[in-house]
Structure 1
């Protein structure tokens, strides 16, 4: 199974957590090399229409201001997928029920692990 296939399995868990109302946060971490882009965070935001997220680019030099975008979940997926394996090797899903970690190893193989939840409540950004 390719890392893209495994990431799609992981993304299904993201969507399930949103539907269940347990999605707290998603973080891209483990950068490749020392790029200026340090992390990408996704938090749910309150929206009248559809489910929306706040995508935040966090940069390494503190002088560089973070960038935030309000997106649909599908738009966020495209951005995350484009940064996977080119800038980041892991994606962490935090829900109120469990934490789920997606990792790509040096051979390009994806894996998913679960652990106890870090967040007890959903915090809207």
Structure 2
């Protein structure tokens, strides 16, 4: 595994908070799916969880504007992009993957921090 990137205590903490954020998205899967079902053609749904781990809303964003709009909507929190036709099981599968990846990252960073402290 390549070891490039930020492996600071702050990055570890962000990864741990990402696990919690994934759970927030999962708990709101029904709401996300209902909102995705009414997205206009050429748009996607962006669901946003704040840094306080609250679902702050869902937003219809033009597909061509995703790169510019998602960072603005996140504001230090987390965003997930969904297409019309997304199902509850799709949301839960993606949030499970998000949580698993973040948990692995947090564990990796913790190991690197521990190794550097004992070196």
Determine which structure has more spread, i.e. the larger CA radius of gyration: 2
User: Which has more helix, going by share of residues?
Assistant: 2
Q: Above 0.5 in TM-score?
A: no
Return the TM-score normalized by structure 1: 0.28
User: Which has more strand, going by share of residues?
Assistant: 1
**Bigger RCO of structures 1 and 2 (CA < 8 A, at least 6 apart):** 2
